Amino acid sequence: MALITFSTFVSSAYYLHIPLFLILLLALFSSSSAAEISYDDHCSSVVPQSMATSLRFGSAFFISNGYFSGGGDLFRSDSGFNGSSSFQFHSTYLHKTRSPGTYQVAGTLSFHDSIQTYLTFNAFGFWSESTGKLCMVGDGGFRQPEPQHLGEPLYLSAVLKLDFPKTANITSSLVSGSLQSWDPAGSPNHFDTIWLSAYAQNGYDYTMIPQANSSCSPRRFEEESLGFDPASTCYFLHSHMHGRTYRLDGSLGFSSRYMAFNMICQQDGMLHLSIGFSNVSSRYENIASEISLVGEGYWDRSRNQLCLLACRILKGRNSKANYSVGDCTIGLSLWIPAAMTLQSRSNIVGRIWSNKDTNDVGYFSTISFQSLGSHMNTIPGPIKYKYTAVDSVRSSCGVSGGATRGKRRYPNGRSPGDMGFSISLKDDGGRRGWGQARVLSIGDTYYGDGDTAMAPAESSASAADLVEMDDERHITIRNVSYAISYKFISVPSDEFLEIAAEGIYDAASGTLCMRGCRFLDSIDCEILINIQLRPLHAKAGEHISGTISSTRNKRDSLFFHPIDVSSDHMYESEAVDSMWRMDVEIAMALVSLTLSCICIRSQILHAKKHPDALPSMSIAMLVLLVLDYMIPSVLNFEALFVTPKRQNVLLRSGGWIEANETIVRVMSTVAFFLSFRLLQVAWSLRSPEESKRQRAALMVCLPLYVAGGLLIWLLQLQGWEELISYAGLVVDGFLLPQIILNICRNSRGDTLTAFFYLGITIIRAMPHLYDLYRARRYVPHISSSYIYASGDGNYYSSMWDLISPCQGLVFAVIIYVKQR
């Protein structure tokens, strides 16, 4: 039989009139080593080669998420590979050949972790339809993750062997094989064998549906569940099941606590899938491990449940790539519950059981599982919440409903935007963290993942939603439920701790008292949560505060020390006020910049009418003004062409604020050019004698500025941020260099027009006066939203807001007296 190399493959492609660009593309990705190695030397015993006769494009061979092991030093964890071992394979085209049932195949095999692709092979070979064997030869580039190699590619050659059946069923649903190096051991390009395994994604024959039905039918779980529109069954099953992590509430004979599905659904509601297990909720085990399952089943529309029959996967003794499907005696059913409770918050729950006899090997008792996280907004029906713990909370928190509403007002408890908030945490050990307290339901309204009501909540008869309204005292107490997630910064894991909470909110005092449950190896519901909400229109320094504590004995293994909780959450009414304030501040900034332009322009006109006054103008003063307008203009130049982004998502105004901010930047640029023009005119007309006087005045001012800057930096110990604010203070006293120059020159006359020095002084004083008003009118929750009188460029406090205007006024009076 003829020897097939890459050159003969290209020749056959030309014979079959394959487009030239495809030939060039394949040639580009193939190295010279591939052309020297024959297919017969490595694959003739697996699938004999045959002459291609016709071309058929398609993706008959496709693996989107396979798993691998081995490879030796290629995938060392200390070399940058993060251990998430997965691969992809897809065929670029198929050739029919002269041998019936044999196809010539070209495809790409890539290995990657969650960050980047490390190894890619381009290979060609043959696949036998009758045996399901695929054998390919090729080469590829490996991008080395070690820092010393700086991503240098390493070119490798290998042979790929896969068992890839044309049509799979539950017993033949595994694709397994290996990638072996061509290079001899000891060669720099040699690598250890990589073992591959994946779940079949091509045609599938359902053979276990009757057995799945027989396994599920006798089992009745008395829980109300939600159904789907029959036309959307696969869409909802895939969106809710695929890739989600589920917590197991028992053992299937191994220690794994979490599982996940990799499913493929047909339009008629039947599906086949693989199930992986892990002790970490963020990933699940290789599909080819001994503790994994494969299964098939259907959505039972009459019971609104998914019914599955699953089989264990067994690993062969002689080969790492030899896997088989074991006994199919595991039943599984899952559904979407129609109601949530304190101890059942998942939007998918289910049961797993063994169909074996109690005394048989591998038997396990029925265990339950539930999904992690929440995706309530995608649920296709109305979800209810049933309160089950508010009676015990009332006794634990001592709430009687007799408290009167004081002078200070708190959120009325009707808005999830007010009641949900981000949290900061600190425990007794000094660990700090952050998280989110998200509202699930308030009273009889269920919200789920969003702020929009989804369905009414329900209460048990003994714990009905308590809304006590006294005609004189107006007392309101509401049932609430929360989902609290948090993470300590010092903990290396990316997993968040979850607490389900349920309790009562007293709108008269702003107290939130709840009982919580966390899900560890067992459910721990001995948790008490007390949170004091911040009053509406609170004073500066007031914030949400509280504790999460365990009510267990300190010797109990589930006991934990109290965790302090705090939040600077902004209420919705305050967010509306902040948006209005931002509009006002933008208008004030526009007015200030417009007046600045007018004042500077008036000084330019004054200089033209009185040329003799130009030498008497302080160059240092003009430089201060130029820098004051130049730095914001330079920093914000890019923002003229890029949409600005604010930190808080509550402050949205449909682009109105952003458009006005752009106008502010434009006006700031105009003010810069005008002030620069004034500096240019004054600089061009200075004489040598005047230059000496300017330098003398500067030598007086400069030590004062430097000494003040050093003093501020040493006292505050906050680095450059304080120096930037100090620079704003210096500009507030922009008239100081002019006063010093007047003393040095003993000058008289109208060097500066009153409209210029009084106008700029008033413009510099207005932000401080406004800040005094703002500090009493608004609570500074989001200082980054300050547009006018922003703390980034000046000192703003009760003391400095009085000192700076008084300083500017004194300097203006001195200039006025001196010029008269």
Alpha carbon distance 460, 341 (integer Å): 11
Residue 175 has pLDDT above 90, yes or no: no
- Nearest to 564, CA basis, from 422, 423, 421, 427: 427
In contact, 109 and 123? CB cutoff 8 Å: yes
In contact, 315 and 322? CB cutoff 8 Å: yes
Q: Please enumerate in sequence order all residues whose Cβ is within 8 A of that of 8, keeping only pairs 6 or more positions apart, or say none.
A: 2
- Nearest to 67, CA basis, from 8, 14, 113: 113
In contact, 228 and 299? CB cutoff 8 Å: yes
Q: Which residue has the higher pLDDT, 423 or 290?
A: 423
> Which of the four pLDDT bands, split at 50, 70 and 90, describes residue 140?
confident
Residue 638 has pLDDT above 70, yes or no: no
- Nearest to 428, CA basis, from 565, 564, 566: 564
Alpha helix ranges (H) inside 163-232 = 209-216
pLDDT of residue 116: 62
Tell me the one-letter amino acid at 79: S
Alpha carbon distance 63, 534 (integer Å): 54
Q: Is 321 helix (H, G, I), strand (E, B) or coil?
A: coil
- Residue showing tokens 């369905």: 455
Residue 12 has pLDDT above 50, yes or no: no
In this predicted model, what pLDDT tens digit does every residue of 284-322 receive, in sequence order?
A: 555 555 568 899 999 988 888 899 999 988 876 656 666
Phi, psi (rounded to 5 degrees) for 263? -115, 155
In contact, 757 and 812? CB cutoff 8 Å: yes
Q: What mean pLDDT is predicted for residues 112-124?
A: 75
- For residue 225, give the DSSP letter: B
Tokens of residue 315, six digits: 């690993």
Alpha carbon distance 374, 484 (integer Å): 12
Judging by DSSP bridges, how do beta strands 563-567 and 203-204 pair with one another? unpaired
pLDDT of residue 115: 61
| CATH class of the domain whose range is 387-451+475-569 | mainly beta
> Which of the four pLDDT bands, split at 50, 70 and 90, describes residue 234?
confident
Q: Domain coordinates of the chain in residue numbers?
A: 39-199, 208-371, 387-451+475-569, 573-638+657-819
Using a 10 angstrom Cβ sphere, with 0-12 exposed, 13-18 middle and 19 or more buried, the burial of residue 40 is middle
Judging by DSSP bridges, how do beta strands 203-204 and 167-168 pair with one another? parallel
Q: Which residue has the higher pLDDT, 57 or 78?
A: 57
Q: What mean pLDDT is predicted for residues 633-641?
A: 52
Alpha carbon distance 271, 309 (integer Å): 11
- For residue 337, give the DSSP letter: B
pLDDT of residue 155: 82
pTM of the model: 0.64
Alpha carbon distance 57, 302 (integer Å): 42
Q: Is 150 helix (H, G, I), strand (E, B) or coil?
A: coil
In contact, 481 and 487? CB cutoff 8 Å: no
Which region among 25-39, 178-192, 317-331 has the lowest average model confidence (pLDDT)?
25-39
How confident is the prediction for the chain on average, in pLDDT?
A: 78
Residue 434 has pLDDT above 60, yes or no: yes
- For residue 121, give the DSSP letter: E
Tell me the one-letter amino acid at 332: L
Which region among 490-499, 521-530, 593-602 has the lowest average model confidence (pLDDT)?
490-499
Range 361-368 contact pairs with CB under 8 angstroms and sequence separation of 24 or more = 362/253, 362/312, 362/327, 362/329, 364/250, 364/251, 364/252, 364/253, 365/250, 367/248, 367/249, 367/250, 367/251, 367/252, 368/249, 368/250
pLDDT of residue 120: 86
> Which of the four pLDDT bands, split at 50, 70 and 90, describes residue 256?
confident
In this predicted model, what pLDDT tens digit does every residue of 203-224 receive, in sequence order?
A: 788 999 999 999 888 887 777 8
CATH number for region 39-199: 2.40.128
pLDDT of residue 788: 79
CATH number for region 208-371: 2.40.128
In this predicted model, what pLDDT tens digit does every residue of 534-580 receive, in sequence order?
A: 888 777 678 899 999 999 999 998 999 999 999 988 787 777 777 88
Alpha carbon distance 712, 360 (integer Å): 80
- Nearest to 265, CA basis, from 304, 235, 294, 227: 235
pLDDT of residue 399: 64
pLDDT of residue 787: 74
Instruction: Return the number of other C-beta atoms located less than 10 Å from residue 272's C-beta.
Output: 24
- Nearest to 328, CA basis, from 359, 296, 305, 306: 296
Sign for the pseudo-dihedral over CA of 785, 786, 791, 796: negative
pLDDT of residue 61: 77
Sign for the pseudo-dihedral over CA of 716, 722, 725, 731: positive
Alpha carbon distance 376, 385 (integer Å): 12
Phi, psi (rounded to 5 degrees) for 786? -70, 120
Tokens of residue 622, six digits: 């003009």
In this predicted model, what pLDDT tens digit does every residue of 400-409 receive, in sequence order?
A: 554 555 677 8
Range 639-647 contact pairs with CB under 8 angstroms and sequence separation of 24 or more = 639/665, 640/665, 640/666, 646/784, 646/785, 647/782, 647/784, 647/785
Alpha carbon distance 502, 484 (integer Å): 11
Q: What mean pLDDT is predicted for residues 360-386?
A: 76
In this predicted model, what pLDDT tens digit does every residue of 438-497 receive, in sequence order?
A: 998 888 888 876 555 555 555 443 333 444 443 344 557 889 999 999 989 877 766 788
> Which of the four pLDDT bands, split at 50, 70 and 90, describes residue 35?
very low
